[in-house]
Chains A and B, each alone.
Chain A
Amino acid sequence: MKPSNVLTLPGRESSGPQHWQTLWEKRHGYLRVEQHDWTRPLRGDWLARLEEMVLSRDEPTVLVAHSLGCILAAAWSARSLNTHRVKAALLVAPADVEQPAVRDQLPTWSPIDLGALSFPSVLLASRDDPHCEFERARLFAHAWGAQFMDYGECGHINADSGLASWPEGHVLLQDLMKD
């Protein structure tokens, strides 16, 4: 599939220059779903941007979501009539926006949609993720019908985790990209 049909969905504050999502975009030509406001994420706004980007692609896409991007993918799947245009999703370190402290900051993101996703997916969770308890991530994977992968102790699976371009994660993505 064309690299420009692989869409990356970063979390809040977007992904910085050393984040594997950014490095994959640079190396492979994947496309970021750029949000209007990364610091104050509004779910409706983010949903509309994702819908717009999926519809702008010339063939079904693969979503590569991290953190809040995973919650966005689930929210979008629960609402859009265009989920057939997504082939698969890689969901990495979902952010638990129902935690009380986060819920206060991002009220429109709760409750998290827990319906089965309309496309195949793989969810990777870390045992020491500060943004989501491991068992909560397992619950999300179960609810979304995603294949669950225990990624050990790897923090929020981001630039701070020392993954660099994260080739291991990219192998998983390539599997999802296959027909």
Chain B
Amino acid sequence: MAKIFCVANQKGGVGKTTTTVNLAAGLAKVGQRVLMVDLDPQGNATMGSGVDKRKLELTVYDVLLESASATEARVRSVKCGYDVLGANRELAGAEVELVEVERRELRLKLALAAVADDYEFILIDCPPSLSMLTLNGLCSAHGVIVPMQCEYFALEGLTDLVNTIKQVHANMNKDLQIIGLLRVMFDPRITLQQQVSDQLKAHFGDKVFDTVIPRNVRLAEAPSYGLPGVVFDPAARGSQGYVDFAHEMVERIKKIQ
């Protein structure tokens, strides 16, 4: 039975999608069976997994509208070694179309239950806004992975996210917890980043992952080739960071279980 994790942060541009696709690729590389669910209508995680969002016949939108099952809509990214439940701009319509549907926030959870035995990990890339789509992600998940840059405003947005998670935990999903904060785009030469990193550790303790993802140009270049950095350039420092993170996640879920 898969463990399901949302990659979320209500601040934009913090590396959510990069983290989702590279963690998925890293987990696949260490032998885990993975499904990546793209819940962002921009479809960047889909494209970044080597799947052309313009050519998808079925997407997570069809799953949310119950016109297709997750089994029917998922596709295999052969290059990346994991399955993808993709998205394109059609997904934006779900916000309008599901508004009057009962238990609309549970649509994804119910759909994923049918494929949970096929995977060890299901990773969900959430949009930055707190929308019905994000809520579907949070209601489906056992935990949230929060990528963060160690910058002055790092904690901005985190308060909102923590409050949201508390509310979802209290009202809709008792399993939900923050699994951990992942420091990304880290440059140890910048004193401020080191200071913020230390503050995060002091504040959140075990909730901060040991792995730190270094700032790395190869990770930034990879999406333009339609691949995660872990696949595009496995030797890059950033890619190695995500493989280390995959190992850490495998260990961490043993504690959760």
Give the interface of A toward B (CB within 8 A).
Answer: 36-37, 40, 42-49, 51, 76, 79-81, 108
Task: Kindly identify which residue among B54, B88, B96, B100 contacts A48, using a CB–CB cutoff of 8 Å.
Answer: B96
Provide the residues of chain A in CB contact with B106, threshold 8 Å.
none
A45 touches B92 (CB 8 A): yes
A157 CB, nearest partner CB in chain B, Å: 27
B89 touches A80 (CB 8 A): no
Contact mask for chain B residues 96-113; partner A; CB cutoff 8 A; 1 contact, 0 none: 110110000000000000
C-alpha spacing A47/B89, complex, angstroms: 11
Instruction: Tell which of A47, A76, A80 has the most Cβ of chain B within 10 Å.
Output: A47
C-alpha spacing A48/B89, complex, angstroms: 9
B90 touches A44 (CB 8 A): yes
Interface: B242 (CB within 8 A)? no
A42 touches B88 (CB 8 A): yes
C-alpha spacing A36/B99, complex, angstroms: 22
B97 touches A108 (CB 8 A): no
Closest B residue to A76 using CB positions: B96
B88 touches A51 (CB 8 A): no
Provide the residues of chain A in CB contact with B72, threshold 8 Å.
none
Secondary structure at the B interface, as helix, strand, loop or mixed, is helix
15 A-B pairs besides A44-B97, A45-B90 with CB distance below 8 A are: A36-B89, A42-B88, A42-B93, A44-B90, A44-B91, A45-B89, A46-B93, A47-B93, A47-B97, A48-B95, A49-B92, A76-B96, A79-B96, A79-B100, A81-B99
Give the interface of B toward A (CB within 8 A).
Answer: 41, 54, 61, 88-97, 99-100
Task: Kindly identify which residue among B54, B89, B92, B97 contacts A79, using a CB–CB cutoff of 8 Å.
Answer: B97
The 4 closest A-B pairs by CB, nearest first: A44-B93, A48-B92, A44-B90, A45-B89
Closest B residue to A40 using CB positions: B54
Closest A residue to B98 using CB positions: A79
C-alpha spacing A42/B96, complex, angstroms: 14
C-alpha spacing A51/B88, complex, angstroms: 18
C-alpha spacing A45/B89, complex, angstroms: 5
Cross-chain pairs A/B with CB under 8 angstroms, 26 sampled: A36-B89, A42-B89, A42-B93, A43-B93, A44-B89, A44-B90, A44-B92, A44-B93, A44-B94, A45-B88, A45-B90, A45-B92, A45-B93, A47-B92, A47-B93, A47-B96, A47-B97, A48-B41, A48-B92, A49-B92, A51-B95, A51-B96, A79-B96, A80-B99, A81-B99, A108-B90
Provide the residues of chain B in CB contact with A81, threshold 8 Å.
99-100
Provide the residues of chain B in CB contact with A46, threshold 8 Å.
93
C-alpha spacing A76/B96, complex, angstroms: 8
B96 touches A80 (CB 8 A): yes
B99 touches A48 (CB 8 A): no
